[in-house]
């Protein structure tokens, strides 16, 4: 065993005993998102590095520290760390701005970030997410949040906390940034190294810092006063107010969090997160917001957009695995050829059937049937001679001998 090759740090196998719950996450996504008019899109995992540098922004942790980037044929390539940039690239490249609005797209799949692995944080993880293009009104923000909440509800997750904030537009945010910088200036030397680096490039990101000493600084009354101050221009304030009134009308409980700024550069106006109290320190299951400038920034037409992404591993860890599905029937017989023939006949009619492929005793086969199937389908010498099957219901041991052609009906009853 000394020489076995192991899975890479921060990556995981999804094992057969875990897959039913993954299928549920995916099935519910398809079902619920379809109800809201979304279509799935599948973009490549590998993209040009420039897409993320320009799309996600080079002041973000994702682009600065976390990307898996390598050279191939003198091109710099990156394993996608998130999928909004890829979806936007595809939206532009495939002329989707000519489609009637809104264009609603959803995706699922692996993302890659070189982070320190810990509970709730992997290097290859999965996201499910949505992007809606073409609507600037707050109805779109409200519908996107409602969709996230309803997807979570469909999984039985009813008690998660929705946090919202508005980052305003580039115009009104500029003044807010200036005020934040000003009030934090005397504290500059006490900020952590990351915050010192962000101070010039992305001062709002400071508010998101998880370092205790920084958090303590932001608690100071004079700094809180600036953080909590109203800076939104009239249009942004109206947009935010309308979003809140839609959420209230639709019974979506939310809390406003002025410190919620999100890690990415591309957001404007609405940002939101959905958190769980049962996840320890990596407690966010969903993050999203409005990104009205990204399509243009990546070379497309000016197109407002809003979207979110959820971490599927974090959803997984909040849920109970469903009972494993049993086979419909397990054929018990001393004649492999007859068992084979019956298995194929029943499989072709949609039943999940197995029989013993190895040469095992009748009693061993029955034992196996009771473990893996709902019914034992017994093909003894008499049954074979008479064209019959003895069907044993393994939940109560009732057994009936019936014509072969009636087996499907009997099992499905």
Which residues sit at the interface with ligand ATP, rule CB under 6 A? 82, 113, 115, 121-122, 125, 127, 263, 282, 284-287, 309-311, 313-314
User: Given the complex with ligand ATP, which of 310 and 331 has the nearer CB atom?
Assistant: 310
We find the least distance from the C-beta atom of residue 310 to ligand ATP, in angstroms, to be: 6
Shortest gap between Cβ of 143 and ligand ATP (angstroms)?
A: 19
Closest CA to 109 of 136, 82, 91, 85: 82
Judged by beta carbon, residue 124 or residue 352, the one nearer ligand ATP is 124
Q: What is the dihedral angle through the alpha carbons of 249, 253, 254, 255, rounded to the nearest 10 degrees?
A: 120
Nearer Cβ to ligand ATP (285/343): 285
Residue closer to ligand ATP, measured from CB, 108 or 392: 108
Q: Counting beta carbons within 10 angstroms of the beta carbon of residue 234, is it exposed (0 to 12), middle (13 to 18) or buried (19 or more)?
A: exposed
**Look-up: residue for tokens 């005397």?**
186
Q: Which residue is associated with the tokens 């303590």? A: 216
Nearest one of 46, 134, 98, 80 to 309, comparing CA atoms: 80
The answer for residues whose C-beta is within 8 angstroms of residue 10's C-beta and 6 or more apart is 115, 117, 121, 122, 123, 124
Nearer to ligand ATP, 78 or 333 (CB): 78
- DSSP type of residue 139: H
Nearer to ligand ATP, 99 or 255 (CB): 255
User: 276 vs 293, which CB is nearer to ligand ATP?
Assistant: 276
Q: What are phi and psi of 111, to 5 degrees?
A: -125, 160
Alpha-carbon distance values, 276 to 43, 159, 285 (Å): 29, 8, 7
Return the number of the residue (156 or 324) whose C-beta is nearest ligand ATP. Answer: 156
Q: Based on CB atoms, which residue is closest to ligand ATP, 81 or 102?
A: 81
CB of 208 to ligand ATP, least distance (A): 8
- Please report how close the Cβ of residue 344 comes to ligand ATP at its closest, in angstroms: 43
Distance in Å, CB of 155 to ligand ATP, minimum: 14
The DSSP element (H or E) to which 26 belongs, if any, is helix 16-35
DSSP 92-118: HHTTGGGSPSPEEEEEEEEEE-----B
Let me know: does 29 contact 128? Beta carbons within 8 Å.
yes
| 3-state SS assignment for residue 388 | strand
Q: Which is nearer to ligand ATP, 202 or 365 (CB)?
A: 202
In the complex, minimum distance from the CB of residue 274 to ligand ATP, in angstroms, rounded to a whole number: 8
Question: 156 in the Ramachandran plot: left (φ > 0), alpha (ψ -120 to 50) or beta?
Answer: left
Angle at 261 between CA 52 and CA 310, to 5 degrees: 65
Using Cβ positions, the residue closest to ligand ATP within the complex turns out to be 311
User: Could you give the CA distance from residue 357 to residue 29 in angstroms, rounded to a whole number?
Assistant: 37
**Half-sphere exposure (CA, 13 Å, Cβ side) for 294?**
32
Q: Which residues share a beta bridge with 47?
A: 78
């Amino acid at each position: 065993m000394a020489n076995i090759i192991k899975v890479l740090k921060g990556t995981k196998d999804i094992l057969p005993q875990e897959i039913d719950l993954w299928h549920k996450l995916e099935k519910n996504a398809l079902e619920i998102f379809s109800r809201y008019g979304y279509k799935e899109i599948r973009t490549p995992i590998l993209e040009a590095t420039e897409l993320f540098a320009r799309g996600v922004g080079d002041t973000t942790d994702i682009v600065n520290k976390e990307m898996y980037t390598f050279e191939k044929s003198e091109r710099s390539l990156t394993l996608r760390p998130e999928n909004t940039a890829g979806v936007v690239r595809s939206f532009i490249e495939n002329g989707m701005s000519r489609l009637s609005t809104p264009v609603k797209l959803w995706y699922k799949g692996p993302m890659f970030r070189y982070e320190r692995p810990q509970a709730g944080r992997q290097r290859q993880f999965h996201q499910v997410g949505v992007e809606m293009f073409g609507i600037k009104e707050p109805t779109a923000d409200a519908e996107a949040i409602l969709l996230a909440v309803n997807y979570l509800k469909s999984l039985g997750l009813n008690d998660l906390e929705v946090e919202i904030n508005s980052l305003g537009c580039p115009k009104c945010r500029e003044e807010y940034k200036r005020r934040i910088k000003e009030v934090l200036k005397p504290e500059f030397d006490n900020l952590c190294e990351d915050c010192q680096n962000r101070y010039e490039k992305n001062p709002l990101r400071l508010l998101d810092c998880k370092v205790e000493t920084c958090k303590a600084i932001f608690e100071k009354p004079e700094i809180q006063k600036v953080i909590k101050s109203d800076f939104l221009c009239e249009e942004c304030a109206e947009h935010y107010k309308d979003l809140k009134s839609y959420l209230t009308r639709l019974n979506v409980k939310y809390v406003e969090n002025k410190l919620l700024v999100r890690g990415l550069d591309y957001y404007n106006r609405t940002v939101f997160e959905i958190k769980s109290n049962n996840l320890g320190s990596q407690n966010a299951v969903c993050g999203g917001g409005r990104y009205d400038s990204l399509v243009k920034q990546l070379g497309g037409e000016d197109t407002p957009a809003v979207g979110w992404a959820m971490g599927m591993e974090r959803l997984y860890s909040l849920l109970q695995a469903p009972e494993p599905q049993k086979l419909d029937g397990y054929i018990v017989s001393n004649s492999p050829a007859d068992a084979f023939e019956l298995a194929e006949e029943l499989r072709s009619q949609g039943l999940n059937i197995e029989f013993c492929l190895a040469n095992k005793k009748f009693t061993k086969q029955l034992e196996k049937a009771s473990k893996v199937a709902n019914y034992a389908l017994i093909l003894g010498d008499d049954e074979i001679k008479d064209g019959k099957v003895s069907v044993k219901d393994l939940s109560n041991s009732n057994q009936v001998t019936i014509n072969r052609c009636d087996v499907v009906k009997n099992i499905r009853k």
